[in-house]
Each structure stands twice: as C-alpha cells, then as structure tokens.
Chain A
C-alpha cells in the first residue's frame, strides 16, 4: 500500500514533468525554426553562390621567370621614335628561335631597328648564340647583322641542306639570309626576293607539295612618311589607327623554284587584289583536304583565309568559312595567332590576339567552318584588359592540358597614362585551360618588367623538356622567360626532319597514350613577327610511356612508332 505522500509525489511528477518537458519544447522549436530560417547575410549568400561556380581565377604559382640578364643577354630595341609618331615605329620588332649552328640548342635572332628615315644611326639585327649557361652575340662575325628597320622573322630550310635559313621582313627591302653551315649570306637579290613594302609576319610553307618551302609575306600598310599624319585621340600627338590611312597593303606569295630563286606568284595565285592590314599569318590545313591553307590576321580589316585550291591558286574563303569577322560581325584588330588543335578533333583551331577593350578571338574549327567560341573559353573577361600581340598555346607544365601566353603592349595613349614614362607598357598574361576554359593565372611571371610587348617565340632553350619564351618589347628589352615548371610530369619532344635534315614544316605528329590522343603540327611560325622552336612538344602528365607516335610528312609519307619512352627528344628522319 502506498502512503499519501508517496501517492502525491508521483501525482505531481506525472502532471508537471510532461508539462515542463513538452512546454520547453515549444519555445525551443520556435527558436530552432527561426534559427534555421533566419536571413543569411549577403556575404553568405554570395559565398554559397560562388561555391557552386567553378573558380573564376587563380593565384597562379610562378610559371615563368625572367632570366635575360643571367644569360648575359642585353638587347634593347630602338624603335626610332623621335616624336613624329610614324606608325611603323610601333609595330616591331620580331624574333626568331632556331638552332642556327646545329649544336642541339636553340639560338635567338633579334630583328633590328634604329632610325626610321635614314636620318640617324641604324640598329643591326643580333644573333645570340646559345653557349649553354650564357649567350653570346655573334651576328657581326657570322653575317647575320642585317641593318635597319625590321619586323618579321621566318625560319626554314629553303635549300634542303639541313640548316635553317632566315627571312627578315622590313620597312623597305626584305632580306633573305642563307645559312651555310652556321654562316649567313645575304641572297636576297639572287633569290628574287626583297619586296619593298611594309612587311610584317612571314611564313615558310610548302603549298604545292613539291618538297620546297614557299614563302608568304603579310604587309601592313602602303606607307610613306609623306602619307603619315598626326592623330590626337587623347589630345596630344599619338600613333594613328591603321584605318585612318585607308591604305591596306597587298600581301605577297613566292614560289620556291628549287634553284635558289623564288618567283612572285601573287598575281597568278589569285592573291593579288585582296588587301588588308596584315600582321599575323598561320599556315595549316584548315579544311582537312590535305592542302596547306593560310589564315591572315588583319588589323581592323577582315581576316583572310586563303584556301589552297591545289592547282597553284588560292581563294579567300574567310567569309564563307566564318572567320573573316568575330561572332559579333566585327573585323577585329587581329595581331598574333596561335593555331593549335585545342579540342583534339584533328582540325586546327585559331586563337587571335586583339586590341584592348575587345576580347581575343577563339575560332573553333568545326570541319571547314569556324564558330566564335570566345566566351565559351572564358576569354571575355580577362582578355579585354590589354592589347595582345605575340602568343603561344602550349603545355606549360606538361600536364597534358594546353595553356596560353599573351604578351601585351599598348598602341595608343590613354588620357590617364599620358604623363607616364612608359605609357605603352602593359603586363603579360598567362592562362591555363581548366574545365574547358582559359583561366588567367595572376602572378605567373616573376621578375619581368612590363613593356610594350610585341613578338613571342616559344622553345625549349635549356633542354629540360618544357617550353621557355622569348619576347620582344617595342622600344624596350628582349626578355627570356624560363619555364619554372616544377611538376613531375612526363613529356616528349619530336623533331621531325625532311630528307635534307631540316625541320619538316607542315608535318603532323600524333601521340597516343591509352585513349588520349594529342596532335601537333611541325611549325615554326604563327604568333606575331616570330619564329619558334619547330619541334612538336607534348606534355604527358603521369604517363610512363607513349603507346603510339604517328608522323605524316607533307609529301604524304607516314611512319608509326610504338611503345616509346617518355622524357626524350626524338629525332625522326624521313625514310
């Protein structure tokens, strides 16, 4: 039997405890509800939203370091600017990267400058020989010290003797230097070259499949000092826009006759009569018909795509192939070109640098016609900031993904920079392909001073399996940027040769690792006024071997190699 006290206590407990327990639950639920639904701060909302997006930019690790002075190179371009603001002053200079003495490493050819109108000292071209740890200037002793105002540098073995010859486009007569075992001879007159226009980028390529390198030279303007005029876009004297001259120039095509002479076939090839402000040129088989075509980037006039018709003639197919203008119908200020097969579909795509305020242009080749994929590639934001000139698309860190470098430099004064000491200097940009988009890597270049960037040549200067860069600056220093790639990725460099032992320009190289296929073309030109290392470079990520390497020479012959070791330079001679 329970006592009354016993009977009261459970009674209270039974009545009060549930009230306390359940009663406390209600305010708790109310507070919990409010806590769960309380308004987030805008910062939290934005943070959550950002988290759903891919990263918009990256603070990149240093990808390159300026080692120009460490290499003993001091090459300062004299642009001849004397206050007259002649437009030729702001275009150059060019640069070439090739192994002139066939000692296995790349040397540097820097185009000259100086007084524009023969009213002052001229600046000769320089040839910097790679001596391993340092470079020596040897142009004078080897006959490469071409005097005067020069722009483009094109390199190729024009006579099939295995060493690389050099064409230099200039304001005035262009120059062809034949390489005779590491010494240069000016053979311009004998070769029938030496056009007197305003030559810019030039390219050696074999358009008729005869095994001899032909030559295309882009020209910028029909310019004379008398035709120049003052422009005052910011109120003070400045360089003019090329369209203000209304004097687009005629490019020229020369056919290699095989006996040391070239024939000017501009007219008979159908190229004559089409004018543009030509700056960049790239030769590639854009329509996959087995013939090498040409894309010409013009400055504020429509680009040209010279489709090779196979009978020695060309037709401008840019309009119908969708690459004369950008997707907004604008003839961009096309400067430099990178021509690579970005999506590994076997067709060369086009990346064209542009003036500030407009983004660079990416034209994806969809089988003979191009689509403007600029925005899809994430170029719309970062690439509008500066004026891009030389460029290269290559695998900087050998991870198997292509990256892009653009050297920038101004062409016009902006009111806020009028009083600066170097008002045309601009920083370069480097971007990695991440998730299908080029993402700018801020802080990717260490130690480089901003300049008015122009030419850019890429090549493995130090033989460590990644590509270094050589840049020129208008009125400024030549810069060598060493690739600071620290990743432990594999690579393969393929040096495809002609029967004569020179670089097999136009040959295609395909590398297969598992299911992954990458393609390159043996090409020394493109970019802007530049000639790069012609060897095909492949970044292979963590691959330990290459399953298959396939080479197709321009004459149609093919070769296939299996199970190759990585991290080597493979020299492939023509059978």
Chain B
C-alpha cells in the first residue's frame, strides 16, 4: 500500500466517522408535523381559549422541531389556531418565513420570549431576513436584552436601510445604555424618515436634554413639531427644556398642550410592523382597537363589521353586546341592534352599560315602553349617575313630552354640572320648546364653565340673532 493510499484511507475514515457519529444535523430536518391542536374552552362571556394536556403539547413542539411555546392553556383560541396553521404550513413546505409569522402571532399575544425565539429561527431559516431581524431586535428590546437588540437591528438596517423606525429604535437603545453620542447618530438617521418622521428629531431632543443642552433640545423639538404639530412627547420634552432654561411660564404652557394630546401607545404608535403582527394574529384586543378607531373616526360600517367580528369571539359579553348594539343602531339596522341590546341586558341586568344600550336603542326604535323600563333600571342601579336621567329626557322628548324632558335634563345637569353635553341637550330642547331666554341663560352658564366651547358660542350667537 503506497503512502498515498494510506493518506486516502485515513481521510476516508475521518470523513465517514464524522458522517456516522458526528454532531446531529442530517436527521433533524424541518418537522414533518405541525403543533397539536388544542380543544376550545369557553368562559362565561363566551370567549374561547385553548385547552390541552401540557405533555402532549410539549411533545408536539418537540416533534415539530419548534421552539417551546409555553403552556397554551387559557390562551385566546383564534390567534393560537392561526399559529398552529402556520406551523402546519411550515411543516409542509419548510418555508422559514412561516416561523416569522408564528413569531408575529406570539408577539400579538404578548408572549415575548417565544416570539423572540421564533424570530431568531426565522432570521436564519426564512427569506425575509430584514423583517425577521427587525422583529428579533424589537423583541430583544422589549425583553430588555439591549445588546442583542442592537445586534439584530443593526443587521436589519444593513438589509433594509430605508425603514426609519429601525434607526429610531437603535437610537432609543443606545440612549437606554447611556451611549448618548451613538443615540444621537441613530436618531439623526431616523429624522425625517419613516412612517413617523418626527420620531428621530424627538429622540435627538431627548438626547440633548439628557446632556442638559436645553437650547439644542429646543431646536430639535421645534423641528419635530414643524413635522408633526400634535406630537405629544415633543411638547412634553419641550416643556422640560424650557424649564431647564428657566422659562417656567412657557414650560407650563407647553406642558398644558401636551396634556391635551393623546399619549404614545408605545412603539405601536410608530411601528406599522407591530400593527401588521396584531392584524395577522387577529387578537380580540386588535379587533377592539379596530372597532374603537372606527367609532372614533365615525366610520359606522367599518365599526359594525369589527363589532360583529368581536361578537363572534365574545358572544356573551354584555359590554361588547352593548357597544355593538349602539353601533348597529347607528347604521340603521334597528331590529338587529334591539336584539343585541336585549341580549346584553338579559345577560347582565345589573350592568349599567347594558341597560344604557338597551334604553338608547329602544328609544331610537320607538319602543318607548322598553326604553322606559331600561332607563328606570339604570336609575335604580346608579341613582347618582346622570346618564339614566339624560336617556329618560330623550325618551320623554321623543314621546312629545318636552316639559318632562327638561326636568330630567336639569336633574342630569345637577349631577354633572361640568358636562357640556347635558347642557347643550337642554339648550336644544328649550329652543325647540321656544323657551329662548332659558336657553340663552344655559348657554351663558356653559360658557362660564367652558369659555372656549365653540358649539355653545355658535348656538348663543344664533339665539341672539333671532
């Protein structure tokens, strides 16, 4: 045997030895099964949650080769079902992006550790690496692993330089670590970009403030407010900067402005990707948000759709039934609204919101007997709450009994003297009853309480011009 053959034989033995007894890998291909499907359990409100033997669940995670998703018992069922569907798609196709989608669902369920694990796997095994790196960084940030978050977000930014929120997150991370120079650099990269262009500038203001550079902070915050005049934090930090400069009156004014603006809702305020995760998971909370946002912008058809979807999840929740009944009533479908409101009140006769919805919808549907019954129930339930009297006033007015309506409205105002809504209703009834002097007097009183109330000013002007 030649020396050459001996070398070959040794090499072959090493290679085959590695194949035979080397580290695992070859046999651990992606799982061939998805996760086990839990059963549904329903609580009193009809909300479905998952129910499964923990041993079976853990074994299915193991067999599928997936990171352990902790005890799913009690977890909202629909998002979990979607997660299991994604696991099945992953098992079938080996598409690593499905792991990322599972991470998004875990994120929406606020299960941040499993979410992070899924994103770590998706970053390596999926194709949308920039997105999963971003999510991995976001979850590490959420969990307080700041260095790991920086590493993941830096790599996300290399792959996708245009997503401004990545730089803003990096700015925030360096800020948390006290590395203010790097924080400022990253905030500067985020400035004027992304879905929330003032974010980077507010961050720069925050950095300057931490360095007690009050003038510098003001410069950035003013620039932020030019881009987003209603940026809550920009006003808040501006007030802090002005205080630092001893301009206390201006600081107080800036603080007052910020008080009137909605506070941030964490990163959800700036990060469309988090919104995407919530939409994908379709958690009850995300539908509630969709519903309240649709109500806030007056989009009743969209609100009704979201409301019905929410009812599908919580069919026995008096609160949800009450809200949806009112939305549906406003779309004009009074029979359906009445059905929902009745169900709410039947389920929870002691629930003020349920009785209020029933009264409201019944008055709208001209079922005055039912309306009266519901308002009386409300007043019995909460005699010091103005809503019952206000609804009773509406009922009387709809029945053509304006004098009694006025009495009830005055009672409501005595309970809530600061409420502009009650007074404006009273003014309306007084005006329609031709009691103009009294209407004028009510408006004058309202303007003492709320001098800037535009509606009251207009009404007073209209009255006086008559």
Do A and B form a real pair? yes
B353–A235 contact, CB under 8 A? yes
Residues of chain A within 8 A of B148, CB atoms compared: 52-53
Interface centre among A52, A230, A320 (most CB of B within 10 A): A320
Contact with A along B1-17 (1 / 0, CB 8 A): 11011001101100110
Q: How far is the CB of B389 from chain A (nearest CB, A)?
A: 13
CB neighbours of A187 from chain B (8 A) = none
- A:354-378 near B, CB below 8 Å: 366, 369, 371, 373, 375-378
Q: Which of A21, A43, A234 contacts B66 (CB 8 A)?
A: A43
| Nearest neighbor of B25 in chain A, beta-carbon distance | A38
The interface residues of chain B lying within 8 Å CB-to-CB of A31 are 15, 19, 26
- Chain A CB within 10 Å — which of B112, B120, B125, B318 has the most? B120
CB of B233 within 8 A of CB of A329, answer yes
Q: Is there contact, CB below 8 Å, between B354 and A319? A: no
Q: Provide the residues of chain A in CB contact with B266, threshold 8 Å.
A: 328
A320 to B19, Cβ gap below 8 A?
A: no
| Whole-angstrom distance between the Cβ of A45 and the nearest chain B Cβ | 4
- Roughly how many angstroms separate A322 CA and B208 CA in the complex, as a whole number? 12
* Selected contact of A17 from candidates B5, B15, B16, B113, CB within 8 Å: B5
A36, B23: Cα distance in complex, Å: 8
Interface residues of B in 188-242 (CB under 8 A from A): 206, 209-210, 212, 232-233, 236-237, 239-240
Q: Mark B137-153, 1 if CB is under 8 A from A, else 0.
A: 00011111110100000
Answer whether residue A82 sits at the interface, using C-beta atoms and an 8 A cutoff. no
| Interface positions of B from 26 to 80, Cβ below 8 Å from A | 26, 28-31, 43-45, 61-62, 65-68
The contact of B18 among A32, A45, A376, A378, by CB within 8 Å, is A32
For the complex, would chain B's binding face be called helix, strand, loop or mixed by DSSP majority? helix
With A35-B26, A39-B29, A39-B30 in contact, is A21–B12 under 8 Å at CB? Answer: yes
B67 cross-chain contacts in A, Cβ below 8 A: 42-43, 46-47
Q: Which residues of B contact A433 (CB under 8 A)?
A: none
Chain B residue contacts of A380, Cβ below 8 A: 142-144
Partner of B236, one of A325, A371, A379: A325
Complex CA gap A371/B29 in Å reads 48
In the complex, the chain B residue whose C-beta lies closest to that of A36 is B25
CA distance A355 to B431 in the complex (A): 46
B94 contact set on A, CB distance < 8 A: 39
Contact of A35 with B22 in the complex, beta carbons under 8 Å:
yes
When chains A and B are docked, how far (Å) is the Cα of A330 from the Cα of B259?
A: 9
Chain B nearest CB from A373 CB (Å) reads 7
Bound: A215/B152 CA distance, A: 51
Contact B350 A236 (CB under 8 A): yes
Kindly state whether residue B426 has any CB partner on chain A within 8 Å: no
Identity of the chain A residue whose Cβ is nearest the Cβ of B31 in the assembled complex? A41
The reply to whether B8 and A21 contact each other, CB–CB distance below 8 Å, is yes
CB of B21 to closest CB in A, whole Å = 11
A366 to B263 CA separation, bound complex (whole angstroms): 26
Given the contacts A28-B15, A54-B145, A328 and B8 also touching, CB distance less than 8 Å: no
A192 to B185, CA, bound (A): 58
A46 to B16, CA, bound (A): 29
**A415 an interface residue at 8 Å Cβ cutoff?**
yes
| Inter-chain contacts of A52 with B (CB < 8 A) | 148
The listed residue (B65, B141, B353) touching A232 by CB distance below 8 A is: B353
User: Is A416's beta carbon under 8 Å from chain B?
Assistant: yes
User: How many residues of B sit at the interface, in one of the four size bands?
Assistant: 35 or more
Contacts of B335 in A (CB 8 A): none
CB-based nearest B residue for A380: B144
Residue of B90, B121, B140, B385 with most chain A CB atoms under a 10 A cut-off: B121
Contact with A along B251-292 (1 / 0, CB 8 A): 100010010000110100000000000000000000000000
Report B303 CB to chain A, min CB distance, Å: 19
Complex Cα spacing A329 to B236, Å: 6
| Distance between B141 CB and nearest chain A CB, rounded to angstroms | 7
Q: Counting CB contacts under 8 A, is A288 at the interface?
A: no
Q: Are A415 and B319 closer than 8 Å at their CB atoms?
A: yes
In the bound complex, CA of A180 to CA of B117 (Å): 63
Q: List chain B residues, Cβ under 8 A from A329.
A: 232-233, 236-237, 258, 263-264
A17, A24, A232: the one contacting B1 at CB < 8 Å is: A17
Candidates A47, A230, A378, A416; contact of B384 at CB < 8 Å: A230
For residue B317, CB closer than 8 A to chain A, the reply is yes
Chain B neighbourhood of A22, CB < 8 A? 8, 12
Q: A230-B385, A320-B244, A371-B178 are in contact. Are A18 and B5 (CB under 8 A)?
A: yes
A544 to chain B, nearest CB (A): 35
Q: Given A42-B125, A53-B148, A235-B353, are A319 and B251 also a contact pair (CB < 8 Å)? A: yes
How long is the Cα–Cα vector from A416 to B47 in the complex, in angstroms?
A: 10
In the complex, the answer to whether B43 meets A416 with C-beta atoms within 8 Å is yes
Interface string of A526-548 (1 = CB under 8 A from B): 00000000000000000000000
Answer whether residue B334 sits at the interface, using C-beta atoms and an 8 A cutoff: no
In the assembled complex, the CB of B185 is this many whole angstroms from the nearest CB of chain A, namely 18
Q: Are A320 and B350 in contact (CB under 8 A)?
A: no
CA separation between A416 and B285, bound complex, in Å? 13
A45–B19 CB distance below 8 A: no
Interface residues of B in 434-466 (CB under 8 A from A): none
- Complex: A373 Cα to B243 Cα, angstroms: 21
B131-172 contacts to A, CB under 8 A, are 140-146, 148
A-side contacts of B4, CB under 8 Å: 18
| CB closest chain-A residue, reference B214 | A320
- Are A40 and B8 in contact, with the CB atoms below 8 A? no
Measured CB to CB, the nearest residue on chain B to A45 is B121
Which of B68, B99, B263, B319 has a CB less than 8 Å from the CB of A328?
B263
Q: How far is the CA of A280 from the CA of B350 in the complex (A)?
A: 36
- B25: chain A residues at CB < 8 Å are 35-36, 38, 40
Q: What are 24 inter-chain pairs, A to B, with CB distance below 8 A? A: A22-B12, A25-B8, A29-B15, A34-B26, A35-B18, A39-B30, A42-B121, A43-B67, A45-B125, A49-B120, A54-B145, A319-B239, A319-B240, A319-B243, A319-B251, A320-B244, A328-B264, A329-B237, A329-B258, A377-B144, A381-B142, A415-B317, A419-B44, A437-B144
A residues at B contact (CB < 8 Å) = 13-14, 17-18, 21-22, 24-25, 28-29, 31-32, 34-36, 38-47, 49-50, 52-54, 56, 229-230, 232, 234-237, 302, 319-320, 322, 324-325, 327-330, 366, 369, 371, 373, 375-381, 415-416, 419, 437
A-B residue pairs, 6 tightest by C-beta: A41-B65, A329-B236, A42-B121, A46-B117, A28-B15, A49-B120
Besides A56-B143, A235-B322, 17 more A-B contacts (Cβ < 8 Å) are A13-B1, A18-B4, A22-B8, A25-B12, A35-B25, A41-B66, A46-B67, A49-B116, A49-B120, A56-B113, A230-B385, A232-B382, A327-B206, A329-B236, A379-B144, A381-B144, A415-B319
